[in-house]
A and B are shown apart, each in its own frame.
Chain A
Amino acid sequence: MTAEKEPLKSREGDEAPQNETEGKGKGLEKSLTLFNGVSMIVGCIIGSGIFVSPTGVQEQAGSVGLSLIVWLISGIFTAIGAYCYAELGTLIKKSGGDYAYIMEAFGPFVAFIRLWIEAIVVRPCTVTIVALTFAIYGLRPFFPDCAPPDVVAELLAILLIVLMTAINCISVRLATIVQDWFTIAKVVALCLIILTGLGLLFFGESQYKDSFENIFENTSQDFTKVSLAFYSGLFAYSGWNFLNFIVEELQNPKRNLPLAIAISITSCTVIYVLTNVALYTAISPDEMLESPAVAVLFANKLYGKFAFIMPLCVACSTIGSANGVIFTSARLFYSGAREGQMPAVLTMINKKTKTPIPAVILTGALSIAYLLASKDVYQLINYIQISYWLAIGTAIAALFWLRRTMPDASRPIKVPLIWPAIFLAGCIALVLIPMVAAPRDTGIGLLIMLSAVPVYGIFIGWKNKPKWFNEFIDSSTVFIQKLFMVVDEDKED
């Protein structure tokens, strides 16, 4: 009798903090079905990348055939990664994703580097890229025949970042409403492209098949360039590792998590390949290279006076993506602060609005900084991808390490080691090849990552901080608390 009661208490105890930490008020929905899991992952993956990356993939791959192959292989690679992460997610249930895994396996210093990359580089850069995509697509109807003035695109991107930051500061409900509606927009855009393109391919004139003749013509002979194509492709798939945030809420995770991964990433791969096939029906490879806004070019060619629908849908989609990244950044800071590796003020929320204002503002500010530093969307992708894949590789290495150091721990999902081995090899390749092909970009990326080291030394490793330093930190915290009326979430416990 007593034993039976205790497990129930334990579960309730686990769930309650989760509800509060998520700040989403999921009291009415205590668990997710398989369908919920699939739709959440698909929603995270499909975003602005598919509207920007085709140009990047085509540029590096060189030919239509190889581009489609890159998209397919990227999908397969993503699926393998997600499968490996499933084991990590069910083995270590702390929130924080791969930050928690690396902490467990390699200790706080390496974990901090991972946290720093994600919080200070990857998330803000992603917001920047998404905002620039919004600007490119949003300006297209006004500048159909030439490039808009440089400053306008940046200005619009900044306006979007600031607006999304403001919305996320003001209201959680407003932020989730934005998220829901704009998810619909990207689905509409992709459906329009796929249905139109495939319809023309099968029933249209022969001009829609031109891109598929000599399908491997102009294939890049440079192995390093082909490798760079994967960066653009994999960028479009980014978001696959968000699945671990939901693992604790999924019904029957041992069965449903692998199924959710398989279904959602297969769906995304099919959607992405079909989207590219559709784009190529109306756009030749040369035209694609000249237009960063491929979907708008597609619509202009095929929809006539209704062409404005496409930039509208894509712009809405990018708004949703930017909102989603900013919305989820608070969790990242929370997991870091809980380990004492991030300022506590970043976990504080406003009681009235229930929003983590300091964390949101920090992400927004960093995004704007990256935007001002480099306006080339693809350069930004290059910068963050190297650090990103280095971090992912470290997380997979953690899987091997934990197999060795915790061999008997409970693993609801246990993957054959061949898969993490393949994925780890891929990650290593994705880190090493750019060092040869784009050493300058790689250097910048690594420098950004290594900025974590002095920060760790000063704020975390430094045991004997002077009194004035601690007082400065404390007074800053208090000031921010008063300004934004935020308090530590832990107090509710």
Chain B
Amino acid sequence: MDATDRLMPGPEGKTPRFYEVDRGNKTESYISAVSGNPVVPEHIMRKEKRQEQEEAPPQKSWERPPAPTNPKNTDQIGLSEQELEQFRNDPCWKFIRTVLFVLFWLIWLALFAVAILLVCFSPTCVLRAKPNWWQTAVAYHVWVPSFQDSDGDGVGDVDGLINRLDQLRKSGVQTVWPSPFLISDDEKTAVRSFSQMDPKIGVNQKADELINKIHEKEMNIVISFPIATTSLEHEWFLNSATASKTPNANYSQFYTWVSKAADSNFFTEHKNLFYLHEKGNPKSAVLNWQNSNLREHMFNALSNWIDRGVDGFELQGIEYLARTPNGTEPDWNSIYDVIRDIRFHVDSYSNESTIADGKKIALFSTREEAKEKDKKRMAKSGMDTVINYELGEVEKDTKICHKNEGSVATCVHEILSDVLLFHSLNEQVWPHWRFGSPDLARIASRVGSRPHAQLLMVLQMILPGTNNIYYGEEIGMRNLANDSRVPPQKGAMQWDDSLNGGFTSAISPPVPSNIDVANINWKRQYAEPQSTLKIFAKLAKLRQREDALMTGTTLIGRLVDGAFTITRFNNFENRTTGNIYVAALNFAEHPVKLPLTDLPSNSKLHKSTIVTATSNCVAYYARQTVDFGLKEIELEPNEGVVFRYSA
């Protein structure tokens, strides 16, 4: 029974061949040879052999007939070996084979050459220069006394900052900017020494440890450097004031001394003579950069920090590098010359120094009230960036952001449109953005809305150029209550939900924490996928990887009912390449449909990917694939989305 069943498929499988033979009208002998002796599949053959062992005599008789006829079966398909052999050397076929063989390799080599040429001459990567490290950096402005305490005295210190560096790295920060830094009377421009760190935040050797640790984390450090002023307690000022004595004669020209005060706002008496100082600040004496001896000392001070590993300097007080004779106005033409000299010294020293080894040292500055032409002159003189201060003025219900506008969207959009237009027309001025600083109220408090603060942070992270983030803004910290012992924007950093937010173990520290520390803290947000911190970290790291965000063009969409878009893309030789990034932000209290018709390569919008979305966003989430083929996006109130698509 089994044997019969197994035998059945075989013949059926071969039936077509019978018909083929019959239909083929082969010779009679061929047909009889094939028809009479079907080839049995190996499978069946093997089984039959086994049966043969069981019933030897009958199977043997079955097995014998196929063997003798095998040679004849070879004619069934195509040519036999003997028949084919004569074509091996046939001139015609040999020629065809040779030609095809040669042609094949020629074509292959030609295509290979084409591939090589395409790789060599492709413009995309070869021609693009890498930006300097500071141009794409997210600089984190730390107020050290409020950041992390390590010795339990209730005030932050450098050791505390060192202990938190890893968390800054995880947050996506690339540059650390500690303030205050140099020893001073006022934590600002009245420095007592250009080579000493303030002992209130740690002994001077801690500065070297901090610098080394920052570099180990593959981050950079910049410090504030009051370039034009010192404290009255500075050794130079003390020597200068007693220049009448022989040993200190060289210091007499380090400061500007006059016998008669021209303006009491700028001159104060000291030992029968008057010295030039900051406006209304007698504690901060102005250096005389026209004196070559002073210049040498200041250059040495900068070189000292370069050797210690500092990567850049914020030059503070540049408006005092040169003044009009009565001291009341800056002499900008002379200031530009001084900056140029500083630039030259920093560059040449960095190249010669065996420690710095040619590292690019960044120089940047803040200049309030700077006009466009002023920024251009600054950049031309050698300043790497000039901080755009305008966004620091964004505050709800003020003269800049009027109450009638309802939200800060209108004023932000206006400011950005102006500043971005300026930078697109003046590419030599590298943008540098700042929303918050030690001297400004926190964003969340200024705009009166944490969701709006988050939108502004997303906006900032999409803008071109260098970014300054004031500590705590990455988790959305608010101002302290106004009756605090420290300025409201200098509350303790909120690390976790433990005592004092993890800032210090002291009871009732001088630097208090905000009352919302249990909910708003770094540790909690690090574990939430769509928290402010995670949005910040994702965008900060993305800025290090994506050409469009590093050096791409910026396009700001028009304001639509309190919402607008910011687009970044690579425009190379009038061709858009790579990824296009779009931030869509809605500051309104109602849903808005934003048109995407003005975006570059908008025919590709149907295949978009969400990069990140604000915490209150429900419809969109990171890595989601979305079809914006209709060329519009609808945003709920106070929602923001960053998405990308390929050109």
Contacts and interface: CB of A to CB of B under 8 A. Distances in A.
A199 interface: no
A481 B84 contact: yes
Contact of A339 (B13, B93, B125, B218): B13
Contacts, number: 144
A217 B547 contact: no
A477 B76 CA distance: 12
A345 B78 contact: yes
Among B14, B46, B78, B169, the most chain A Cβ lie within 10 Å of the Cβ of B78
Given A152-B115, A205-B216, A289 B43 contact: no
A419 interface: no
Contact of A146 (B70, B74, B125, B169): B125
A493 B70 contact: yes
Contacts of B49: 10
A458 B81 CA distance: 29
B344 interface: no
Given A108-B13, A139-B119, A159-B108, A217 B87 contact: no
B79 A146 contact: no
A218 B529 contact: yes
Nearest to A491: B74
A214 B81 contact: no
Interface in A153-195: 155-156, 158-159, 162-163, 166
A229 to B, nearest CB: 13
Interface in A335-371: 338-340, 344-345, 348, 351
Nearest to B124: A146
B166 interface: yes
A94 B84 contact: no
B169 A159 contact: no
A390 to B, nearest CB: 23
Contact of B545 (A3, A151, A287, A490): A287
Nearest to A147: B578
Contact of A483 (B19, B24, B93, B217): B93
A470 B21 CA distance: 10
B623 A289 contact: yes
Given A146-B547, A205-B216, A287-B545, A487 B80 contact: yes
Contacts of B77: 344, 477, 488
Interface string B1-36: 010000001000111110110011100000000000
A270 B118 CA distance: 40
Interface in B377-405: none
B538 to A, nearest CB: 7
A16 B81 CA distance: 20
Nearest to B166: A206
Interface string A120-160: 00000000000000000001001111111101100110110
A15 interface: no
A284 B541 contact: yes
A488 B217 contact: no
A163 B80 contact: no
Interface residues of A, number: 70
A325 interface: no
Contact of B541 (A6, A144, A159, A286): A286
A485 interface: yes
Given A210-B170, A470-B23, A490-B74, A485 B108 contact: no
B124 A338 contact: no
A108 B11 CA distance: 13
Interface stretch (A75-83, A261-269, A443-451, A460-468): A460-468
Interface in B511-551: 526-527, 529, 538, 541-542, 545, 547
A481 B122 contact: no
A345 B76 CA distance: 12
A478 interface: yes
B485 interface: no
Nearest to B88: A485
B527 A151 contact: no
Nearest to A63: B529
A490 B9 CA distance: 21
A465 B19 CA distance: 9
Nearest to A344: B77
A12 interface: no
Given A155-B114, A163-B108, A470 B623 contact: no
Interface string B184-226: 0000000000000000000000000000000011100000000
A156 B111 CA distance: 9
B513 to A, nearest CB: 25
A17 interface: yes
B119 A148 contact: yes
Interface in A1-33: 3, 6, 10, 14, 17
A207 B118 contact: no
A439 interface: no
B505 interface: no
A20 B487 CA distance: 89
A142 B119 contact: yes
A264 to B, nearest CB: 28
Contacts of B308: none
Among B16, B97, B577, the most chain A Cβ lie within 10 Å of the Cβ of B16
A491 B71 CA distance: 8
A49 interface: no
A149 B78 contact: no
A460 B16 CA distance: 8
B42 A286 contact: no
Contacts of B41: 338-339
A166 B81 contact: no
A6 B88 contact: no
B267 to A, nearest CB: 53
A214 B108 contact: no
B125 A483 contact: no
B261 interface: no
Interface in B168-194: 169-170
A149 B118 contact: yes
Given A149-B118, A340-B13, A470-B24, A94 B43 contact: yes
25 contacts: A14-B46, A143-B119, A143-B125, A145-B125, A146-B125, A147-B124, A148-B119, A148-B124, A151-B118, A152-B115, A152-B118, A152-B122, A217-B527, A218-B623, A340-B13, A463-B19, A464-B23, A465-B23, A470-B23, A481-B79, A482-B93, A485-B88, A485-B97, A487-B84, A491-B80
Given A218-B529, A481-B78, 14 more contacts: A143-B125, A146-B125, A155-B111, A206-B166, A338-B41, A338-B42, A408-B2, A463-B16, A470-B23, A478-B78, A481-B84, A485-B87, A487-B78, A491-B80
Interface of B: 2, 9, 13-17, 19-20, 23-25, 41-43, 46, 49, 53, 70, 73-74, 77-81, 84, 87-88, 93, 96-97, 100, 104, 108, 111-112, 114-115, 118-119, 122, 124-125, 128, 166, 169-170, 216-218, 526-527, 529, 538, 541-542, 545, 547, 577-578, 622-623
Going nearest first, the 8 A-B pairs with the smallest beta carbon separation are: A344-B77, A477-B78, A491-B74, A487-B81, A155-B115, A482-B87, A152-B118, A143-B125
